Amino acid sequence: MKSTIAKKRIMFAICVIPALAVFLYFVAVPFLETFYYCFTDWNGMTKTYNFIGFKNFEKIFRDKIFWLSLKNNVKFCVWGGLLTFGIGIFNAVLITQSNLKEKNVYKILFFIPQILSIVAVAAIWKFIYNPEWGILNGLLDTVGLGTLKHTWLGEKSTVVGALIVVWVWISVGFYMVLFIAAIEGISKDVFEAATIDGASSWQQFWTITFPLIAETTKTCVIFFLINAFTGVYSLVKTMTEGGPAHGSEVVTSYMYNQAFVRSKFGLGTAMGVTMVVLVAILSAILLIATRKKDAE
């Protein structure tokens, strides 16, 4: 008996240690280290550095560009969220409740942006937004709305909106697939009963579908929130690099600049930590707020 347990332990060690070592060293430790570097003035190159307490955080709170970046993150979160969930749920309801024979084709097509590299997406949308020969300005000219033409990614007033459109274009299909799964989990009988009782599609959505997919929506909103604060980095980086003149800067792109371009590793990590704390607080508020509703 003892020997089988020993054998089990050896097998366990052989199987788990390689994965564990790689995971700890390259994922877990760097994450924990951010909470250490954020209290230093390290520049990333010298061997020595000083502990400076909360000075980095003080600097961050006085930094106008940081607040501007955070505001842009909030815009991504609010406008991107409203559009993504509005269109995502709308598409999911259409695809599940309609009589379309080719439902599955749409489900497959709408998901495509999710599988593309952000680099491909950014390149494609740069072609669309090109001020001289881009598809968007061309389209506006053709329909006689030439006055609405813009240097979409080069003007402070349009750049965030232009990026949010791309963000929504990427995200809608993903959330739609999640909502389709949730709606398909609702029993068909419920909808049939409602139809017999004479409930319109609109009423059915608000009285049946929406309450029953609330749980999925909650998970999705938190997922989206985390992404709007951290995931947008790759989009901003590949499309505008935060420009023009910080017009589309988000916290993570600003953080990257401070750390890698200006060699302020300590300050950069402090920004990252601020972000983690902020997202954690927002998610907690969301969870608590929706829990109260459930109790009522």
Partner 1 sequence: MQKKKENSVATWLIRIYTILFSVTILFPLIWVIYSSFKTNQEFFQDVWALPTALQLDNYVRAWEKASIGRYFMNSLMITVIVVIVVAVMSSMATYACTRLGLKLGKPMVMLFMAGLYIPTVLCLVPIYVQMKNLGLVNSKWGLVVLYIASNLPFSIFILSGFYATVPKELEEAAYIDGCGYFATYARVILPITKPAMATVSIFTFMGSWNEYVLANMLISKPENNTLPVGLVSLQTAMEHVSDWTALLAGITILFIPMLLMYALCQKYITSGMTAGALKG
Distance between CA atoms of residues 52 and 256, nearest Å: 21
CB of 78 to partner 1, least distance (A): 20
Stretch that binds partner 1, among 64-72, 74-82, 273-281, 284-292 (CB under 8 A): 273-281
Stretch that binds partner 1, among 53-61, 96-104, 143-151, 153-161 (CB under 8 A): 96-104
Name the CA dihedral angle for 201, 109, 141, 75, rounded to a multiple of 10 degrees.
70
**Residue 90, both tokens:** 């709308």
- In which residue are the tokens 């704390």 written? 277
Tell me the per-residue interface mask from 210 to 249 with partner 1, x by CB under 8 A, - otherwise. ------x--xx--x--x---xx-xx--xx-----------
Residue 205: closest CA among 213, 216, 193: 213
Does 29 sit near partner 1 (CB under 8 A)?
Answer: yes
- List binders of partner 1 among 188-207 (CB under 8 A): 195
CB of 33 to partner 1, least distance (A): 4
Does 145 sit near partner 1 (CB under 8 A)?
Answer: no
Provide the 3-class DSSP secondary structure of residue 46. Answer: coil
Does 108 sit near partner 1 (CB under 8 A)?
Answer: yes
Does 23 sit near partner 1 (CB under 8 A)?
Answer: yes
Does 281 sit near partner 1 (CB under 8 A)?
Answer: no
CB of 122 to partner 1, least distance (A): 8
**Residue 296, both tokens:** 């009522």
CB-nearer residue toward partner 1: 5 or 288: 5
Does 120 sit near partner 1 (CB under 8 A)?
Answer: yes
